[in-house]
Each structure stands twice: as structure tokens, then as C-alpha cells.
A and B are shown apart, each in its own frame.
Chain A
């Protein structure tokens, strides 16, 4: 049976009303489905196997009475009578069920912050950890803890990513801080950026206007408004920051940006005293190249923090990938993408074994199902996945820290890493943990 586990809670953790059914590792998928349907009386049981990525959509998780996570050998079940029936069936010696446990609500808090009670965010982290311990203790396997269930979700006021990073309760807004986003440009007709301080420069020979959407999405996450024009949820972090839009990509269907454009953008950002440069770009090369490492070192010396996407070259669980160029430069903060269950995104690259210190993942941020501004012609808002989306979360939060501490460059780098929220995932996947905003 499951080992007991000490928790950090002073009192018993609250539960969600849902239950986690943990199956023995000898029970195959068919047997589990049979148990849920015949013993539990559940009619329809969506399974992670039904979805190509293995990720069950949040809507299905919310609306189903039972969900089967086939790779983990568990099911999450709602309903008193169903849970009762499953518990009863578990008493049979030949039952495939190992344990039935309540799903806990945990409170995710920012460390070292006064007034934690006010700032807490509801989640299932404790259940996830408990489950991990249980499975790990029983079979020595390491399930991807956060695929178990969704801890955060977008609501009417906030994206899940802002909730998970402590942005809504932060007193800071990026006031007086310049952030450069080197990307496909910005849709300057987007109403959410009306009235903002925006400086634009193209390095690719085409107008700075975004016709792809990637740049507008990234700028939205890093610097989008406190109150979007459509009365929709807040998705942007440093809403008072000065935005420096560097267009480094061309307008090809699959945009390209040679190093010269990108470093010209870095130079421009540095010259304009930007404290942070956000680079949601890369190329799948597992070696360091001096065309990035040398100028990035100068940028750091000059007091500008460069935040870069770790890369989307992983295909987990088979292939964990590697931190790519230019995130693998010593002075680029490599950002991994996590999902709303605080699990590593299947595409998010792991620390490289070849490129030393630079090739490490440094920090993690929300990068799955990220809602942000988008091309007006494309509907104004969109959900995208990628380490590209995780990167501007870190850039925006870096601006908040720059505002709150006046720190720059290496000091700002250290501040971001030391304030990150520890995670149960491997440091090769998430570095120091989940980026957190100053309070």
C-alpha cells in the first residue's frame, strides 16, 4: 500500500471532492477500463490514449466524471457512489486497484512572501506529489507528475500562466523599464497596445508590422495591458514597461532571421538601455557558437539580461532534446515550457550534455495553451504552445524584478533564479524552477 507522506501543511489538506484511483502496475489498459465501467458504473471514461499528445484537454478534465491516465495507471473519478463502488471492489484480492485516495487541494505560494494566505493559488500539487511518491515507492517509476491533472486554468480575469507565476498579486508593472522583443514584429493596429510607449526598428529589411503572429503573441505576454480592450482576461505581465519591438525575422511563410539581424537587434536594445531582451527563437544545434556567445557576453556586461527559448526540439518521453542555439550561450537564460499541470511540455528541450554551463535549462515558465494578443486579422487573440511562449513570461517578470530591485545584468539573472519556485521535476528539465514575480 501507499506509504504515508509528510506534508508541509500545518493542518490536514483540503480535498477537491474528486478521487484518485491508483491501479496496480499489473493492470493493463483494458482491465482498468473494465474496472471503471463495470465496478465503478462509469459510462464514459476518456483516456489519455484517446489524444495524440497524451494530454487530455482541460475541458474534458472538467466535464468528465472519470478520466483515465493510461501511462500513469491512474484514474480521477468524481461522484460519491462511483467512488464508493470502486473502493468496495478494491477489497477483492484480485482487484486491479491498488489504492483509492482523495485528490488534495494544495496552495501554491510564493516563497518568502508575507501575506501568503491572501496570495495563495488553488491547485492539486499535493495530490500530484503524493501520487508521485506512491507510484515511485511501489514500482520505482517516474511518471510525469504534472500530467496527472490540470492545476491551473485560465479564468475570466487571468491566464493560467499569470496565476502560476504570481503576477496578479505583484505590486510591480515594469514602470520605467525597457524590454526588447526581437521577433516577427508587432501588429501595431492591435487595440491592446494603443497609447503604449512603443519604439520599433526593423533589422530584416521589411516593415516592423507583424504578419505572422508570433511576435505579437510574445510581446503580449511580456508587456500586454492590465485591462485588455475586449474586457477579456489579463495575459500580459509588464503593463507599464516601454516596449522595444525589434523585427529580426523576414516575412517568409516560415520566417528566417540570420544572426546578423538578431545581434543587430541586441546591439540596438543595449544601446537603448533595455534591461531585458526576449528571444523566442533558435535553431536546433547542439553546440555553442561564438557568433552568439561573444556578443551576449557584452550584453550582460552592459547590464542587459537576455532571455531565450530553450527550444522545442524534444519529443518526450522518447527524446528529451537539448537546449539549442542561442539559448545555449553562457549569458542567455534558457527557458523551458511547462503546462498547466506543472509538468514539462513534451516539446520542451532538456539541458544539453554537450554544451556545458550554457547548455543548461535555467528556469521554467508557462508555455502550453498560452493565451495572448495575436494578429487583428487572425482574431486578435490566440492560444499558442512553445518555449517561445514561456520566454516572454520570464522577460516580463524580469522587468518587474528590475523595477523592484534596480538590479541589472548578472544580478538580475541571479535574482530570477533564486526566486524561482522549486518544482518536483528534474533540474535538467526546469532548471531552478518556475519563475515568480516580486510581490
Chain B
């Protein structure tokens, strides 16, 4: 079983109106959906096979999720 990766699926502007349908298609192709953000067009979750998700109609991009980090609180540079 390939390893699940945390991913962000961004949705094309013209597909925002059929987010539910997209979520269904992504789930069918193995994505575990955590959050659906209808206005910004982002679906976050996990998947093992990213390429299978990229071919879903209306998907702009499938990327591994990035992390923003802050320095510790005693760091003078923030």
C-alpha cells in the first residue's frame, strides 16, 4: 500500500459551482477529503496517487501540502 500524502487540490474558477461533484470524483479516485473550501476553491486531504487526481475535470492542480513555520518565541527575528 503506497503511503498517503497530505495534499491540496486547487479547483479551476469555472468549476467552483460543481464542487460537490468534484469532491465525489476525487473520493472515487482514492482521496480522503478533510476540508472543502467552496469560495476559495480548495479541497484538502490525503491521497497516495496524486496523478490519478490530476485528471479529474475541473482540477487546476494537485500538490503536496506545504507547511509555514515560525521561529521560537524567544527569537528576535520574526
Is the Cβ of B63 less than 8 Å from the Cβ of A283?
no
Contact of A217 among B42, B71, B78 (CB under 8 A): B78
Contacts of B11 in A (CB 8 A): 294
Q: How many residues of B contact A (CB 8 A)?
A: 30
Rounded to whole angstroms, the CA-CA distance of A283 and B66 in the bound complex is 8
Is the Cβ of A294 less than 8 Å from the Cβ of B44?
no
CB closest chain-B residue, reference A279: B68
Contact of B76 among A258, A295, A384 (CB under 8 A): A384
Contacts of A281 in B (CB 8 A): 68, 70
Asked if A353 is at the interface of the complex by the 8 Å CB criterion, the answer is no
Q: How many residues of A contact B (CB 8 A)?
A: 48
CB closest chain-B residue, reference A271: B39
Contact of B42 among A282, A291, A325 (CB under 8 A): A291
Contact of B68 among A212, A257, A271, A295 (CB under 8 A): A257
Using known A-B contacts A214-B70, A255-B70, A285-B66, determine if residue A385 contacts B10 with beta carbons closer than 8 Å. Answer: no
Contacts of B21 in A (CB 8 A): none
Rounded to whole angstroms, the CA-CA distance of A285 and B71 in the bound complex is 16
Is the Cβ of B77 less than 8 Å from the Cβ of A259?
no
CB closest chain-A residue, reference B10: A294
Contacts of A325 in B (CB 8 A): 66
Contact of A302 among B35, B39, B73 (CB under 8 A): B39
Contacts of B69 in A (CB 8 A): 254-257, 283
- Using a CB-CB cutoff of 8 Å, which residues 3-53 of chain B contact chain A? 6, 8, 10-11, 13, 16, 34-35, 37-42, 44
Using known A-B contacts A259-B44, A325-B66, determine if residue A253 contacts B72 with beta carbons closer than 8 Å. Answer: yes
Is the Cβ of A263 less than 8 Å from the Cβ of B40?
yes
Rounded to whole angstroms, the CA-CA distance of A194 and B73 in the bound complex is 24
- 15 additional A-B pairs beyond A259-B44, A260-B34, A384-B76, beta carbons within 8 Å, are A212-B73, A248-B68, A256-B70, A259-B8, A260-B8, A263-B37, A263-B42, A264-B35, A267-B37, A267-B42, A280-B78, A281-B68, A291-B10, A295-B10, A326-B68
